[in-house]
Amino acid sequence: MPGLFIDVKVDPEVAKDATLAAKLAEVCPVSIFKASERGLEIVESELDECVLCDLCLEVAPGKVEIVKLYEQK
């Protein structure tokens, strides 16, 4: 489930890439990404805490999308 304000969409490819998952978990300052044995998990309860810092986009260019739900009609 997305947050009220923010949704984070991740390319399914990344979800399986353990190294990239670990990197995402490390850079996100509000712990939206969680790296587990199964790959990447999105911590839904934290989605609305996203600070739009773009650090996840930097480590996984083109593979992560931050959606601002308040910009949608």
Contacting positions for ligand SF4 (CB under 6 A): 8, 27-30, 32, 50-56, 66
Element (DSSP H or E) covering residue 57: helix 55-59
Q: Between 15 and 27, name the residue whose CB sits nearer to ligand SF4.
A: 27
Residue 11 to residue 58: CA distance in whole angstroms: 14
φ, ψ of residue 38 to 5 degrees: the values are -80, 0
Does position 65 interact with other proteins (CB under 8 A)? The reply is: no
Residues that bind other proteins (CB under 8 A): 4-5, 29-30, 48-49, 51-53, 55, 68, 70-71
